[in-house]
Amino acid sequence: MTPHAVIVGSGIAGLTVALHAVAHGCRVTLVTKDVLEHANTRYAQGGIAGVMFDDDRIEDHVRDTLTAGAGLNDPEAVRVLVEEGPARIRELIDLGVAFDRAADGDFVKGLEAAHSYPRILHAGGDATGTAIEKALVASLRASNVRVIEHAFLVDLVVSDSRVTGIELLIDDVAAGSAGTSETVRADAVVLATGGAGELYAHSTNPEVATADGIAAAIRAGAHVQELEFFQFHPTIIAAGEAFLVSEAVRGEGATLVDEHGRRFAFDAHPDGELAPRDIVARAIAKQMDAQNGRAVYLDATQLHSTDADERATFLAQRFPTIDRAVRERGFDWAREPIPVTPAAHYLMGGVTTDLHGRTSVRGLYAVGEVSRTGVHGANRLASNSLLEGAVFGARAGDLIAADATSGRWPSMPSAALPHLVSDGRNLNAPVPPFSREALQELMWDNASLVRDETGLAHAAEVIAVWRKTAREQRTERQFEDENLLLVAEHLVTAARQRRESRGAHFRKDAAAYDQGAPSTRGMAHTHAHAHAHEEAIAC
């Protein structure tokens, strides 16, 4: 009998699982919350990291990933990511992803924060995610995968401690009807639902990032881990709708300055603007506090040329998507610095998996941002997220048919943290009525870039009151709200339990983890890397 796999999510991780599972003899149904093309992947500007050049080394990419992860990465998972990454990138190329190439035909090298080598590949300048998503979607549509769009994951179906399907709420957009329930049975369910950016008032994520997969996994009894590690991207345009300015802009040489024009990032780290993301984001937040909340500036006015018109042409060609967004907001970044601020970007923790995406619940897999594979540790290295989706998506897809046939399943030790009981009785003020906006502001104020026990305890008490309050769950948004609230409770609990500052989890009332790592700029291949960086800036 042909195994049936249901995949929830249509980003790089979910699409890769689907294509590999079909190739290994599975019948596949892919479910997506919106249209097939609408996933976090398509918003990825920075690129995909991989050892694709002769003068780069696997060991250097491994080391960079471990250094950024502040000692919490799983070394075996990191090695899998880095060693198998080039094959997955070549697979994307075979599927039609046209990564940018120089005049000589070689790939254009991109440098991003905390990398010791410019190993980032881009497509369309700053449209890498869009190029990858289009290629994978085209391949999927050419396969015999069944696709169900506008289908919301209500819950997992669990029978005898095994996941046997999913419950959906399906909108018929063409007919204008909403809320049709459907249960899809399966031999395996793969969560590829992305992250939880909607937990925060300021986020780079699309509105579909409402932690649905993590919440469903928790309710099914799956282990989750390290939810306290939420990465905040340093540079979001501080005007209009949130828009991320890729780290690649700083990789090209753009600098961060305060309102007086002083470069301040070197106060926090010897790598300055190219330090790990958590450090740069907190440096910006600290400077904004010193400026009474006013934004800092990203200065690209020294890039490429002393002539502003030539610089404008370069920026428009190298970063077309960003250039358009900047100009739509009324800025001429070839001639003036642009205001930027941090925002919630990427969840490093998630549903605990092994190296093939299998969770602690039989029949349930998790891949991509929804998962905790161990590759990111306390802080994700730039441009490793697309790579993770491709590598571990392929690994899960390659194994589903064999798992379903053999009945094998790994046993995992519990990774659950002791729960700090909060019941709302310690609050000194009335709790406002629950709304998504109220939750987002609560999390931003108490569980974002800088945390302490006072704020986290307050958040826990408010969330406890909201969790005890009965609310109707009939519409997609109502289900999303309950998912966000459940995951917020677990995130805050994890943050209270980790009584240290490490990576993206920074507590001003706790000692910092001593990573003891030198600047990446001073690591192996220093001269070769500096030369490559100069070429990247000049291109």
**What single string gives the DSSP state of each residue in 196-264?**
-GGGSSSBSS-TT-S-HHHHHHHHTT--EE-TT-EEEEEEEESSSS--B--HHHHHTT-EEE-TTS-B-
Burial 325-335 (b: 16+ CB within 10 A, else e): bbeebebebbe
Q: What is the mean pLDDT of residues 167-180?
A: 78
d(CA 382, CA 64): 10
What is the CB neighbour count within 10 angstroms for residue 501? 21
Going by C-beta distance under 8 Å and a sequence separation of 6 or more, which residues neighbour residue 46? 110, 112, 120, 122, 126, 128, 246, 247, 248, 382, 383
Q: What local confidence, expressed as pLDDT, does residue 412 receive?
A: 80
Share of the chain above pLDDT 70, in %: 92
Residue 271 binned pLDDT confidence (cut-offs 50, 70, 90): very high
Of the candidates 49, 69, 77, which has an alpha carbon nearest to the alpha carbon of residue 380? 69
Share of the chain above pLDDT 90, in %: 79
How far is the CA of 97 from the CAs of 46, 343, 445, in angstroms?
15, 29, 40
Of the candidates 3, 17, 34, 18, which has an alpha carbon nearest to the alpha carbon of residue 173? 34
- Lowest mean pLDDT of 164-168, 418-422, 447-451, name the range: 418-422
pTM: 0.90
Which residue among 277, 311, 498, 507 is the active-site one? 277
Residue 529 binned pLDDT confidence (cut-offs 50, 70, 90): very low
Q: What local confidence, expressed as pLDDT, does residue 56 receive?
A: 97
Q: What is the mean pLDDT of residues 369-387?
A: 96
Instruction: Judge contact between 114 and 381, C-beta under 8 A.
Output: yes
Higher pLDDT: 429 or 343? It is: 343
**Amino acid in the structure at residue 99:** F
Q: At what angle do helices 453-468 and 476-497 cross, to 10 degrees?
A: 150
Structure tokens at 293: 């909340």
Angle at 89 between CA 357 and CA 12, to 5 degrees: 50
Please tell me the CATH code under which domain 4-228+345-406 is placed.
3.50.50.60
Residue 350 binned pLDDT confidence (cut-offs 50, 70, 90): very high
Q: Which residues pair with 232 in a beta bridge?
A: 344
Instruction: Judge contact between 282 and 225, C-beta under 8 A.
Output: no
Q: What local confidence, expressed as pLDDT, does residue 522 receive?
A: 35
Residue by residue, DSSP assigns 249-316 as: HHHTT-EEE-TTS-B-GGGT-TTGGGS-HHHHHHHHHHHHHHTTT--EEEE-TTSS-SSHHHHHHHHH
d(CA 177, CA 183): 18
Q: What local confidence, expressed as pLDDT, does residue 174 receive?
A: 59
Q: Taking 60 as the threshold, does the pLDDT of residue 1 lie above it? A: yes
277 is catalytic: yes
Q: Taking 90 as the threshold, does the pLDDT of residue 126 lie above it? A: no
Match 């001593």 to its residue by tokens. Answer: 514
Residue 175 binned pLDDT confidence (cut-offs 50, 70, 90): low
Going by C-beta distance under 8 Å and a sequence separation of 6 or more, which residues neighbour residue 87? none
Q: What local confidence, expressed as pLDDT, does residue 478 receive?
A: 95
- Hey, which of 361-365, 405-409, 519-523 has the most confident mean pLDDT? 361-365
Residue 359 binned pLDDT confidence (cut-offs 50, 70, 90): very high
Residue by residue, DSSP assigns 485-508 as: HHHHHHHHHHHHH--SBBTTB-BT
Q: What is the mean pLDDT of residues 523-537?
A: 32
Residue 14 binned pLDDT confidence (cut-offs 50, 70, 90): very high
d(CA 234, CA 273): 10
Residue 400 binned pLDDT confidence (cut-offs 50, 70, 90): very high
Half-sphere exposure of 201 (CA within 13 A, CB side): 15
Q: What local confidence, expressed as pLDDT, does residue 312 receive?
A: 96
Q: What local confidence, expressed as pLDDT, does residue 530 receive?
A: 34
**What SS3 class is residue 134?**
helix
d(CA 489, CA 462): 10
Q: What local confidence, expressed as pLDDT, does residue 176 receive?
A: 64
What is the CB neighbour count within 10 angstroms for residue 295? 19
**What residues does each domain of the chain span?**
4-228+345-406, 234-331
**What SS3 class is residue 388?**
helix
- Lowest mean pLDDT of 142-151, 221-230, 428-437, name the range: 428-437
- Lowest mean pLDDT of 43-52, 166-175, 529-538, name the range: 529-538
Q: What local confidence, expressed as pLDDT, does residue 87 receive?
A: 98
Going by C-beta distance under 8 Å and a sequence separation of 6 or more, which residues neighbour residue 207? 198
d(CA 93, CA 97): 5
Instruction: Classify residue 26 by its DSSP letter.
Output: -
- Terminal Cα distance for the chain, rounded: 55
What is the CB neighbour count within 10 angstroms for residue 1? 7
Q: What local confidence, expressed as pLDDT, does residue 525 receive?
A: 35
Q: Taking 90 as the threshold, does the pLDDT of residue 141 lie above it? A: yes
**What SS3 class is residue 345?**
strand
Q: What is the mean pLDDT of residues 48-77?
A: 96
Q: Taking 50 as the threshold, does the pLDDT of residue 539 lie above it? A: no
Average pLDDT of the chain, as a whole number: 91
Instruction: Judge contact between 351 and 217, C-beta under 8 A.
Output: yes
Q: What local confidence, expressed as pLDDT, does residue 225 receive?
A: 96
d(CA 251, CA 383): 12
Residue 170 binned pLDDT confidence (cut-offs 50, 70, 90): very high
Q: What local confidence, expressed as pLDDT, does residue 134 receive?
A: 95
Q: Are strands 255-257 and 296-299 parallel, antiparallel or unpaired?
A: antiparallel
Alpha-helical (H) ranges within 407-475 are: 436-446, 453-468
Structure tokens at 326: 């900047």
Q: What is the mean pLDDT of residues 503-518?
A: 80
**What class has domain 234-331?**
alpha beta
Q: Taking 90 as the threshold, does the pLDDT of residue 523 lie above it? A: no
